[in-house]
Amino acid sequence: MWLFTDEGFFSAVAHRDVENALMVRARVRADLVNLTKRLGVSEDEISDVFPSDYPYRLVVPRVLFVEMISDMLLNLDYDNFKNVVTQKQGRARHDLYMKVWSTMADAEGFLARAEQNGLMGQRALPSGNFEDGWESAPTLRLRPPRAPEKALARAQVLLESTAAKPYASVPPKRSKHPPKAPPKKGTSRRARKRR
């Protein structure tokens, strides 16, 4: 289960070895630190698992996690999730959550196209750019399954290349449009618009 909250992003799954426990995973350590505060457990309980798609993990009794989620829902007092995320976690986190929102914006159309093309049982990813408007909504393309050895090798290279800063941000995609020239000194924004 993926949970996008105003305190972080979590993936909760049944623990493979511990009965009645969940493995709650995160990609940002601070998210699990927020969770430990809510649960009243020590930050020392967080495990670091590298390389992994979720490098931070916390074993939580299922009942305790249910109580925490119930408490979050009972105390929910905002009417705009995105604004609260910006206030509590900053604009960068808001922008990350908006990428997920944008991907899911065409979920019904994407799934209909996949079903129409007989691709429901295959790995299909959207391609396209919502920033250009809804006319450019995602089209369907297939991605072949990755070989685990190649993925592990890529992760190892990434870890080695970012040893000084383990979680360097991914560089932004290059725009199709050339960058705008900087404004001339001494011109106001209003004057530039009139031109």
Residue 132 lies in a domain: no
Residue 182 lies in a domain: no
Amino acid at 57: R
Which pLDDT score is estimated for 110? 85
- Same domain assignment for residues 93 and 112: yes
Query: Domain boundary at 77, 101, 136, which?
Result: 77
Q: What average pLDDT does this structure show over 84-104?
A: 95
Residue 94 lies in a domain: yes
Residue 24 lies in a domain: yes
Per DSSP, 35 falls in state H
Per DSSP, 68 falls in state H
Confidence of residue 170 (pLDDT cuts 50, 70, 90): very low
The whole model's pTM is what? Answer: 0.60
Which pLDDT score is estimated for 111? 87
Amino acid at 44: D
The answer to whether 41 and 79 are in contact (CB under 8 A) is no
- Same domain assignment for residues 91 and 40: no
Q: What average pLDDT does this structure show over 160-178?
A: 50
- Same domain assignment for residues 61 and 93: no
Residue 145 lies in a domain: no
Q: pLDDT at residue 39 above 60?
A: yes
Which pLDDT score is estimated for 50? 86
- Same domain assignment for residues 9 and 67: yes
Q: What average pLDDT does this structure show over 24-52?
A: 94
Confidence of residue 176 (pLDDT cuts 50, 70, 90): low
- Same domain assignment for residues 53 and 7: yes
Amino acid at 187: T
Number of domains comprising the chain: 2
Residues of the domain holding 49: 2-77
- Same domain assignment for residues 82 and 106: yes
- Residue 64: is it exposed, middle or buried by C-beta count within 10 angstroms (0-12/13-18/19+)? middle
Residue 135 lies in a domain: no
* DSSP states of 46-65: PEE-SS-SS-EEEEEEHHHH
